[in-house]
Every structure is written in structure tokens, then in C-alpha cells.
Amino acid sequence: MKQYSLNGEILVLRVKKSPIFIRGILFFFAFASFLLPLIGIIMSIEDGKGLHIGYFIILFLFGLIAFYLLRISLWNTYGEETIVLNMPTIQYEANYGWFKDGKKTINSNTPVFSISQIGYEEDKIGTLVIGENDEKIESVVKIPINQIEELIEKLKIVAGTV
């Protein structure tokens, strides 16, 4: 199964979904991290202990944890990256399914496409890198290296750098 699709100038890289059990646990802890402190605060106020500033601090901290876990859960479920090759600009956007993030734009008339190897050499997994030095876009989607090599050949044709 290919983790990418290239339609004209639009490249979409899809995250390989993690097992449903793992995603279920992540979603559970994401929602529990927000709901449990909120329920505890409501019950404490009902017992007559009043409203304290500590409640807001706890709710804020656990809200940040919940947001981070939700973001990881969504990435592992719906995650994809969209790269638009409108020469001379290249636009990048990460899509989490429920929201989008990580927008970046670089200028390059002749982009350089390369592979950044991830993990052990025998795993043969890497990420796509477009550009060089400070002006580059690094994908976070882990793709088998043979697919990235095939993709780079197609991208060179689209970018006109063959």
C-alpha cells in the first residue's frame, strides 16, 4: 500500500494508522485527562468547598495534557501532510483530521529532494525532505525508502528538475 498520492502539483503523504487498540487507549486518556479534573472540581464545589484559583491551574494543566494526547490520537488516526508544488513556492500543511497545523512555505526554483533515514538501517524507513539548508520542508510521515525513491523521481518531473 502506497502512503502517498501525487495529483498534478499536490502531494499527499498519509500516516500509517496505528492499531485500533492503541488509538482507543490514546483517545480514552485524552478525554479522561480533561473530564476527570472537571468532574472533580464540580464535585468539590458542590460539597461547599468554594471556587479556588488552584482549580483553574489544575484544569489548565490537564487541559494541555488532554490537547496533546488528542493531537497524537488524531495524527495516528487521520494524519496526513499536503505539499503543493507551485513553483517557485512550495507549501506544506499538516492535517490532523479535525484541524490543520504546521503551515510552512519555502521559495525554490530548483528544489532538492532527498531522504532522511529514520531508525535502524535494516528497517529501511525514512522521511521526505524538500529543499536544503534553512529553506527546507521535512516530512514526519515515515515511508519505506523504496517508495520515497519512486516518489522523488515523480517529484523531479513535476518540479522540472530532471
pLDDT band of residue 162 (cuts 50, 70, 90) is: low
Average pLDDT rounded to a whole number, residues 8-12? 89
The pLDDT of residue 111 is above 80: yes
Three-state SS sequence of 135-147: EEEECCCCEEHHH
**Interval 121-159: pLDDT, tens:** 888 899 999 887 778 889 999 999 999 999 999 888 887
Contacts of residue 81, defined as CB under 8 A and 6 or more positions apart, other chains included, come to: 12, 13, 92, 93, 94, 95, 139, 140, 141
**Interval 27-49: pLDDT, tens:** 999 999 999 999 999 999 898 88
**Least reliable range by pLDDT among 56-65, 99-108, 137-146:** 99-108
Average pLDDT rounded to a whole number, residues 102-121? 86
Average pLDDT score over the chain: 89
Helix residue ranges per DSSP H, 14-144: 20-46, 53-78
